[in-house]
A and B are shown apart, each in its own frame.
Chain A
Amino acid sequence: MIGALNKKSLRDIWNIKGQVVAIILVMAAGIAVFVIMFGVLDSLRLTQSTYYDRYQFADVFASLKRAPESVKQRASEIPGVSVIESRVIFGVTLKMKDMIEPASGKIISLPDGRHPLLNNLYLRSGRMLYPNEENAVLADESFFHAHDLELGDKVSVIMNGHRRQLKIVGVVLSPEYVYSIAPGALMPDGKRFGVFWMSRRSLEAAVNMKGAFNDLSLKIERDANIEYVKEHLNLILKPYGGLISYSREEQLSNFFVENELKQLESLGWLAPIIFLSVAAFLINVVMSRQIATQREQIGMLKAVGYSDLEISLHYLKMVLLITSVGALIGLSLGGWMGVGMTEMYANLFHFPILKYSFSVEVMIFSVFFCTIAAVAGTLFAIRSAVNLPPAEAMRPESPEEFKPTFLEKIGLHKQLSFLSRIIFRQLERRPMRAIFSALGMSLALSILIFSFFMEDSMDYLMDVQYDITQREDVNISFVEARPYRALEEIRVLPGVVNVEPIRNVPVSLKFAHFNKRSLITGLIENADLRRVIDSELNPVSMPKQGLAMSKKLADTLHIKVGDILQVEVLEEKQQVLSIPVVAITQEFIGMGLFMDIRELNRILDESPKINGASIMVDPNHSAILYKKLKDIPAIMGLNITSILRQKFEDIIAENLLQMVSINILFACFISFGVIYNTARIAFSERGRELASLRVLGLTRREVAYLLFGELGLITLVSIPLGIWIGKLMVTGMVSTMDTELFRIPTYLSNRTFGVASTIVLVSAAISFYLVWRQVDSIDLVSAQKGVE
């Protein structure tokens, strides 16, 4: 049989079911966000490492001009190398029927008659290649899907100057192309960049590489020194046009995946911690106030002989029941949504396998954290109730000392009605209660602002990127560097309003003991299309000499204006140059390194050359222009800025903003839960007083004014406070989201403040309405007797 006290618990919970639901909501939201984020992150990390492991993703990569197969043998003898694989990799231009602009691609050789030892492929559909199979390829899944291709379809490629039709016989995924990104691109784009695998012998024949290779991948032993291996490899490959070898961290796809994961991690770390802390704080406040309303019953239980321990256990049971339901809902919701989110990300990243990992520690921690907060709030309230002599606890709290309020002291009270004076005195008498209520609502607002921030920031980033720095309509890149007059050939094409040259040079940078692979971009002085900006977003004129460097790159190299940077050019001549850094620029995307194009050509000791151009297009003639550009064989890539921007926005919407929208949803739950509870508790705390006023003849409207006037004032105070706390959270997050790929600008739009405040105000309005219905039905007699 369940005891009378247990029945009391259950019925008490039922009586305050609205508040209980709100508490459960806040708690479940806090726990769910925590479990989702950590679940997704852990799962993605596990999936990534399992995939890399099972498919033998290499540790070190090197590309070179051409070397005979015997060189591979020499490289494999470097101490520490455990597995080595040579390949032929060739860049191609793709003419796709569904695109006006050309796409670029890579064809990678596959050993005939065996599996590759490194960077193995996962076959999604179709079949693997037969040994020596000609004109057949395996296609990378993202390209295959982006063009809605089918097995057996042929793609038209220009390979080594010849057009060829290649039949797709299988669709594959590779650990090397988890993110399929064209060299120099900022975003994966399955439509404009494709990767294909072809029989080694067929490829060798097609590109005149018989018995030779131009790419090496290595696996090193666990305890080997990677720098040592790389140095020796560079020495061996140098005579064969070898570029500096690089490790997995610098491998393009892995670099992007790592950056994405890092971003998710900072969002995934900070957001749940903030959510959980806010939820815990709110549960603590709500519970302590809920228990405080039970003061008289606590006094009675003591009077009839219940011990402090028994009373505490009684309320703790109640609280634990509520928190267990909250925890259960939070955990199941978190697990369920976490699985969905992980699948979504796994698709985005093109992982073939999916491993779930929901750590028990994370779950226990989040539940424990909320429960402790609830229990602490409860014990605090119980303690202050049981510390009172029972006789006193049973009486309604005796009126505390009232003093004229500050407003009255300065003589403003004459402007206030007597009801308004009650409101102000009430606020001044119990400032802590008002402060906690305001703080609760502020936190609700701040997590909304925090959640909306990512979207604001990304919009701002786009605006800066595409309206201030990268203002061209189209940019093109050439297959190889071309003489300056190529620019004039473009200038005369129909629809070209303006054109500016670009020269990109891959380099390896060295300052003190810091190294970084990068790309020097040569731009003209006073460029109008591709511009470089300073920290105030003003365009900077390209200095005549020296390098302009983005702040992030400068930070990475620990270099400042005036320092001399050692630059090793990763082109044929491989010059090593010393160039001063003369300006630091602002960039949110990438880590740019810029130079005056004439100066760049001069120090490279070349006749003026360009390998790309930025073009401003007359929109009326754009279609003709794109068609003309597509037919110029020297053009390898063509990017339409508006499409890039769209692509960028889509990708952000697909990944970061998914997580953000979950945050927004839960932030709404939390706001509502908190505000409703604040209103409801204010009503229980003052129910008796309000009933007395009703008895004295105040109308329901006047009583409501008393209650909601106070809450309304608290709500109004909480809005600026919440905005301030929100800004603090945002600043905290920005500092953790600084990756090499992105810097998140600290920018919040007015719209965010508006929407977040509106959500809070609407939550307040709904809560007030729900409580108003209870005010409306105050049972005057029973309220007077202290029966709720």
Chain B
Amino acid sequence: MSKTSFQTKALTKVYTSGETQIHALRGVDIEIPSGEIVVLLGPSGSGKSTFLNIIGGLDQATSGHVHFRGRDLATYSSRELTYFRRENIGFVFQAYNLVPSLTALENVALVTEISPNPLDPMEALDAVGLKDRANHFPSQMSGGEQQRAAIARALAKRPEVLLCDEPTGALDSETGIVVLKAILAVNQKYKTTCIIITHNASIAQLAHRVIHFADGNVAHIELNEVRKSPDEISW
């Protein structure tokens, strides 16, 4: 695992709100190797969501560089960012953000229809253990099922990277474990780099690499010699 997925240099992000300026990122330098599970840990406001949004092409940095496959995202136009997201990034959000008027299968199809090389939507649902819920609407599914549908939607495009912002934040621990297993399965089966934001330090035990954020910067990085399986952790 020597290939690099993302490399950032002096990445900053400043939000202006009225007369006050909020420095969300203060010069982040980081390298994320390909195919790893990376957990971003840190208190609220430490900059981890901002970081995730910028490397996922959802937001633009104020200054600095994000290299992905040798190109700098900072130089991308809005259109190029759209295609970057479409082809390379799968997102999983804390609030699931499924389209309420579409079934699980159709929510997945929403993404496969615009991807160059997608999985069959049913296969994606199967990968997260939701094959038998394919024709249910979000309102007919539990939170864990909705989140797994969201993961299926994210992985169906065969992304290089899966970005998960508090994927278990809204779930109880039992359901959370099911969701984490689904993410791990994706990582193993498709060699997808998975970057997971969490508040929950025990989830960090699943990761190859844990990046601690504090005050808009990387505090320290730890590598897990021994990774636990989801069944072994609890919160």
A residues with a Cβ closer than 8 A to B are 3-5, 7-8, 11-12, 14-15, 296-297, 299-308, 310, 389-392, 394, 401, 782, 785-788
Contact = CB atoms under 8 A, between A and B. Distances in A.
Contact of B101 (A3, A11, A306, A308): A11
Given A3-B109, A305-B114, A391-B53, A300 B97 contact: yes
Nearest to A300: B97
A391 B58 contact: yes
B87 A300 contact: no
Contacts of B111: 304-305
A764 to B, nearest CB: 29
Nearest to B111: A304
B165 to A, nearest CB: 9
B156 to A, nearest CB: 10
Contact of B59 (A7, A300, A306, A391): A391
A5 B110 CA distance: 6
Given A308-B82, A389-B60, A4 B113 contact: yes
Contacts of A12: 101
A296 B60 CA distance: 19
Interface of B: 18, 49, 53, 56, 58-60, 78-79, 82-83, 85-87, 89, 91, 93, 95-97, 99-102, 106-107, 109-111, 113-115, 138-139, 143, 153-154, 157, 170
A235 to B, nearest CB: 83
B109 A305 contact: no
Given A4-B107, A4-B113, A394 B97 contact: yes
A389 B87 contact: no
B97 A305 contact: no
User: Chain A contact residues: over half helix, strand or loop, or mixed?
Assistant: helix
A689 to B, nearest CB: 16
A654 to B, nearest CB: 51
B99 A302 contact: no
B153 A304 contact: yes
Given A4-B106, A4-B107, A306 B97 contact: no
Contacts of B85: 302-305
B86 A304 contact: yes
B216 to A, nearest CB: 16
Contacts of A300: 93, 97, 99
8 contacts: A3-B109, A302-B58, A303-B56, A304-B85, A305-B115, A308-B82, A391-B58, A787-B138
A145 to B, nearest CB: 60
Given A3-B109, A391-B58, A394-B93, A305 B83 contact: yes
Contacts of A15: 101
Contacts of A390: 58-59
A296 B59 contact: no
Given A8-B110, A306-B114, 19 more contacts: A5-B113, A7-B102, A15-B101, A300-B93, A303-B93, A303-B97, A305-B83, A305-B85, A305-B114, A308-B78, A310-B114, A389-B53, A389-B58, A391-B49, A391-B59, A394-B95, A394-B97, A786-B95, A787-B138
Contacts of B91: 303-304
Contact of B82 (A4, A297, A302, A788): A302
A300 to B, nearest CB: 4
A394 B165 CA distance: 12
Contacts of B102: 4, 7-8, 11
B196 to A, nearest CB: 16
A390 B89 CA distance: 14
Contacts of B78: 308
A391 to B, nearest CB: 4
Contacts of B93: 300, 303, 394
B82 A7 contact: no
A533 to B, nearest CB: 65
A389 B114 contact: no
Given A4-B102, A394-B97, A306 B138 contact: no
A785 B59 contact: no
B50 to A, nearest CB: 8
A5 to B, nearest CB: 6
Nearest to A390: B58
Contacts of A299: 97
Nearest to A15: B101
Contacts of B86: 304-306
Give 5 nearest A-B pairs by CB, closest first: A305-B86, A11-B101, A4-B109, A391-B53, A4-B110
A599 to B, nearest CB: 82
B137 to A, nearest CB: 9
Contacts of A8: 99, 101-102, 106, 110
Contact of B87 (A14, A305, A391, A782): A305
A5 B113 CA distance: 9
Contact of A788 (B79, B100, B113, B157): B100
Nearest to B112: A4
Contacts of B101: 7-8, 11-12, 14-15
B58 A304 contact: no
A4 B56 CA distance: 24
Contacts of A401: 18
B99 A306 contact: no
A297 B101 CA distance: 11
A310 B58 CA distance: 17
A392 B15 CA distance: 12
Nearest to A386: B78
Nearest to A398: B17
A587 B96 CA distance: 73
A1 to B, nearest CB: 10
A296 B97 CA distance: 8
B30 to A, nearest CB: 19
B104 to A, nearest CB: 11
B170 A307 contact: no
Contacts of B100: 787-788
A392 B53 CA distance: 10
B39 to A, nearest CB: 19
Contacts of B138: 787
A690 B87 CA distance: 39
B170 A785 contact: yes
A303 B99 contact: no
A304 B93 CA distance: 11
Query: For B58, B96, B111, B139, which residue has the most chain A Cβ atoms within 10 angstroms?
Result: B58
Contacts of B114: 305-306, 310
Query: For B87, B107, B110, B170, which residue has the most chain A Cβ atoms within 10 angstroms?
Result: B110
Query: For A3, A5, A306, A391, which residue has the most chain B Cβ atoms within 10 angstroms?
Result: A391
B60 A7 contact: no
A15 B60 CA distance: 35
Contacts of A308: 78, 82
A318 to B, nearest CB: 11
B20 to A, nearest CB: 12
A503 B81 CA distance: 90
A530 B58 CA distance: 83
